C-alpha cells in the first residue's frame, strides 16, 4: 500500500510550521514566557501609577509576544515566494520503505528510519528528518489522504516519535 499526494506549499502552511518550530523549542518558549512576565510587570507598574515603567514593559512585552509571530509570518511569505522548489507542486509517495519526494525530473527517497519525529498542528503534518529539516504537509493539500498518511506514518515510525493528535 502507498499514499501519493501532490503538495503545493503555501505561506499559511509555512507560517504554521515556523510557529510550531519556534515555540516548541526552548528559545521560543523562553521568549514567550519572558514576554508574559514583562507584560505582568507592565500591568503591575501601571496599577501602581508608574506609567513610564509600565509603558516600557508593555513595549518589551509587545516585542516578544507580537513581533515574533509577525516576523515569522513575513519570513514564511518570503520563503515560499523565493524558494524555487516551492514554486511548483511536490509529489510525495509514502511507501513501505519510506517517502519518495519528486519534482519534475528530480527524485529522492527518505527511509522511515531517518525520520526523527512526526507531529501535527492545526494546519500541517510535519515529519522531521533532522532537528531543523522537515517535510511539511499542509492538511488542506492532503485532503482525503490525511487519515491514510497518518496511518502509514504511525505504522512505520516508532510510537515514541509520533506526536500526531488530530486524526480525522
Phi first, then psi, for residue 8 (nearest 5°) are -105, 115
CATH number for the segment(s) 3-9+84-163: 2.30.29
Give the residue among 14, 6, 2, 10 at the shortest CA–CA distance from 126: 14
Give the residue among 76, 80, 79 at the shortest CA–CA distance from 89: 80
Model confidence band, residue 6 (pLDDT cutoffs 50, 70, 90):
very high
Distance CA 62, CA 112 (A): 41
Q: How high is the mean pLDDT of the chain?
A: 92
This prediction has a pTM of 0.85
Domain locations in the chain? 3-9+84-163, 13-82
List, for residues 65-77, the tens digit of each pLDDT value: 999 999 999 999 9
| DSSP assignment letter at 121 | -
Question: What was the pLDDT predicted at 157?
Answer: 95
Grid cell listed for 106 = 528530480
Question: What was the pLDDT predicted at 116?
Answer: 95
Q: Is the pLDDT of residue 168 over 60?
A: no
HEC sequence for 39-104: HHHHHHHHHCCCHHHHHHHHHHHHHHHHHHHHHHHHHHHHHHHHCHHHCCCEEEEECCCEEEEEEC
Amino acid at each position: 500500500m502507498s499514499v501519493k499526494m501532490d503538495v503545493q506549499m503555501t505561506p499559511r502552511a509555512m507560517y504554521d510550521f515556523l510557529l510550531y518550530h519556534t515555540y516548541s523549542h526552548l528559545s521560543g518558549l523562553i521568549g514567550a514566557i519572558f514576554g508574559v512576565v514583562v507584560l505582568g510587570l507592565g500591568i503591575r507598574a501601571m496599577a501602581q501609577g508608574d506609567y513610564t515603567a509600565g509603558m516600557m514593559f508593555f513595549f518589551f512585552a509587545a516585542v516578544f509576544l507580537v513581533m515574533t509571530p509577525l516576523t515569522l509570518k513575513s519570513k514564511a511569505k518570503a520563503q515560499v515566494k523565493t524558494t524555487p522548489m516551492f514554486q511548483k507542486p511536490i509529489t510525495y509517495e509514502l511507501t513501505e520503505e519510506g517517502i519518495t519526494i519528486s519534482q519534475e525530473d528530480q527524485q529522492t527517497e527518505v527511509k522511515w528510519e531517518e525520520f526523527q519525529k512526526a507531529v501535527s498542528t492545526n494546519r500541517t503534518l510535519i515529519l522531521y528528518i533532522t532537528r531543523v529539516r522537515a517535510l511539511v504537509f499542509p492538511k488542506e493539500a492532503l485532503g482525503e489522504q490525511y487519515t491514510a498518511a497518518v496511518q502509514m506514518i504511525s505504522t512505520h515510525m516508532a510510537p515514541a516519535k509520533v506526536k500526531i493528535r488530530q486524526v480525522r
